[in-house]
Amino acid sequence: MNVPLWVAAPVIVLTALATGADLRTRKVPNLLTGPALLLGIGAHLALGGTSGALGALAGAVVAGLLLLPGWLSGWMGAGDVKLMAAVGAWLGFPLGVYAALAALVAGGVIALVVAARHGVLVQSLRGAFLLIPGAPGGSARTGPPSHAGLRFPFALAILAGSLFALWRAR
């Protein structure tokens, strides 16, 4: 699966711009994600016809859905989900799914680093373990642990996941 430059370049620019905005403001702007999503689907329609557009749409939907539980649980912002959907539109299916999964892994690594840096790594790991259904001492609670005030710009993880997916597809 070789990714053409007309796909790779917009993904890199989009995720870099989103990461910059997220680092500065802790928000991924809708003025970036909305047009990027539409342009991704439109570019695939123009260059790949209906099947290209459907692949872009599938990439957007599945990539966005993979991050949706994180937003519903309060672990990330809606802009992160929309950014992942826009990346999925550009990368299409299944490459957009690979990028989303890699972004989740990158986000986990970043979260471990942030927790360790703030001295709450053990507490964070214990809290994550207790969220597992059936874990000894666990509960049915949902949502972020009580020390969830430690946040980081998830667009950085999406940038890393996107770069990984592009690298794997070369």
- pLDDT values of the chain reduced to their tens digit, one per residue, 170 residues: 689 999 999 999 999 999 999 999 999 999 999 999 999 999 999 999 999 999 999 999 999 999 999 899 888 999 999 999 999 999 999 999 999 999 999 998 998 888 888 888 777 777 766 667 776 765 555 555 555 566 789 999 999 999 999 999 98
Chain-centroid distance of CA 24 in Å reads: 18
Report the C-alpha gap between 20 and 8 in whole angstroms.
18
Give pLDDT, residue 141.
Answer: 52
The Cα 81–Cα 33 span in angstroms is: 9
- DSSP for residue 84: H
Question: Which DSSP symbol is given to 123?
Answer: H
Which residues are CB-neighbours of 98 under 8 A, at least 6 positions away? 91, 164, 165, 168, 169
Is 170:3 a contact under the CB 8 Å cutoff?
Answer: yes
Predicted model pTM: 0.86
For residue 102, which of 154, 153, 50, 144 has the smallest C-alpha distance? 154
Cβ-based neighbours of 147, under 8 Å, separated by 6 or more:
120, 123, 124, 127
How long, in residues, is the chain? Answer: 170
Q: With beta carbons less than 8 A apart as the criterion, state whether 87 and 96 touch.
A: yes
Give the H/E segment covering residue 72.
helix 30-72
DSSP single-letter state for residue 2: P
Q: What is the pLDDT of residue 88?
A: 98
Domain coordinates in residue numbering, the chain = 5-169
DSSP alpha helices (H): ranges in 73-94?
78-91
